């Protein structure tokens, strides 16, 4: 989800991440907080009050995109040849 949004240069709000991943807020938000703490995600509050309550937006940093790319490459390398 964040990776898809990052590819489009967009941020995603927390509730959308919960809906897309199927994770509850009690699981998703602590994970997002940890990812922000290690520098893989940048989070900020929206400033536009005309569309309802403020939203906490999340976007991958360059370091976060690199980490995902590295993880996907490593997972592909460990996969047996017949599973590709």
Mean pLDDT, residues 54-77: 80
**Hey, where are the domains in the chain?**
2-83
Closest CA to 53 of 64, 45, 65: 45
Average pLDDT, the chain: 81
CA dist., res. 39 & res. 48, Å (int): 25
DSSP string, 11-31: -EEHHHHHHHHT--HHHHHHH
65 has a pLDDT exceeding 80: yes
CATH number corresponding to 2-83:
1.10.10.10
* CA-atom Rg of the chain in angstroms: 15
pLDDT tens track for 43-62: 999 887 677 888 899 999 98
Checking if the pLDDT of 25 tops 60, the result is: yes
Share of the chain above pLDDT 90, in %: 46
């Amino acid at each position: 989800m964040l990776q898809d949004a990052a590819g489009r240069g967009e941020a995603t709000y927390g509730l959308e991440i919960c809906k897309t991943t199927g994770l509850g807020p009690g699981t998703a938000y602590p994970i997002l907080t940890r990812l922000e703490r290690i520098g893989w995600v940048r989070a900020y509050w929206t400033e536009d009050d005309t569309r309802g309550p403020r939203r906490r937006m999340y976007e991958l940093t360059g370091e976060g995109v690199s980490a995902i790319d590295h993880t996907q490459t490593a997972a592909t390398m460990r996969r047996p040849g017949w599973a590709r």
